[in-house]
Amino acid sequence: MDIKNLTFSYDKKKPFIELNQLTIKDSKITTIIGPNGSGKSTLLGLIAGHLKAHSGEVLLDDVNIHQISAKERAKKIAVVHQQNEAPEHYTVRQLVKIGRYPYRNKFGQNEEVDEQIIDEAIEAASLTAEEERFVYQLSGGQRQRAWLALAFAQQSDYLLLDEPTTYLDLHHQLDLLARVEEKNKTQNQTIVMVLHDLNQALQYSDEIIVMDGGRIIAQGEPFEVMTPEFIHKVFKLNVLFFEDPNGVKHLINIK
């Protein structure tokens, strides 16, 4: 995915997002970090094709994203938002089935294949025991995983996740990230996610994009980009690296 000369603003007077050039690497996990209001969700909305740039373009295989029909786009890009409104009285399975709609055509659909893909998506999100429950009956964490299962069922090239761990306890945060990582590793799905937790960004990403004031101020491998000096500059945090007994480095906050 390539982004060229992109500008976007919520109020027409002054561009908020201004990006000259950005390439999202295929089959990698890219995480967007940055302070509140820096434009992370807006960038994700532009990449997803939910927002229209004022100038410039988002290219998928050299085709402008807005020239791709909504149905074709849904085969290429799946999005899980921070808050997702489930249709009332849908069971988990019915919700996940929505992920197969883009594959319907005038000849119908191969129901058997679809059912198998839905089974796998529900399994990958660890919701098999919940599949006949109504979505409104689920806990916040289970609900988030139901949306993830829907996105898995889309079998898209790209999976975009906007702060997917926000409503989850730590165990479920790590569980969700592990499931996403598994999809990336086993199916080469390109992942673009927004995370607030800097350690999670460090541990789960191949590439980091740092935003501030609507611009990308750094991009690269996590440990190259996220130095204590840089984190202090962007997030006004005093941090240092701590190496755990397994040799994994973590950022810790100091006074």
Binding site for ligand ATP (CB under 6 A): 10, 16, 34, 36-42
Is residue 162 a contact partner of residue 81, using CB atoms and an 8 Å limit?
Answer: yes
Smallest distance from the beta carbon of 46 to ligand ATP, in angstroms? 10
For ligand ATP, which is the closer residue by CB, 125 or 193? 193
Nearer to ligand ATP, 124 or 195 (CB): 195
10 vs 107, which CB is nearer to ligand ATP? 10
Whichever of 40 and 143 has its CB closer to ligand ATP, that residue is 40
Q: Which lies closer to ligand ATP via its Cβ, residue 17 or residue 176?
A: 17
48 vs 135, which CB is nearer to ligand ATP? 48
Closest to ligand ATP by CB, 84 or 94: 84
Q: Closest distance between ligand ATP and the C-beta of residue 45, in Å?
A: 7
Q: How many other C-beta atoms lie within 10 A of the C-beta of residue 231?
A: 20
Report, in Å, the least distance between residue 166 CB and ligand ATP.
9
As measured in angstroms, the least distance from the Cβ of 59 to ligand ATP is 21
Q: How far is the CB of 204 from ligand ATP (least distance, A)?
A: 18
Cα(159)–Cα(177) distance, rounded to whole angstroms?
A: 12
Residue tagged 């790590």 (tokens): 174
Cα 87 versus chain centre, distance = 22
Q: Residue 6 Cβ, how far from ligand ATP at the closest point, in Å?
A: 13
The 10 Å Cβ neighbour count of residue 65 is: 21
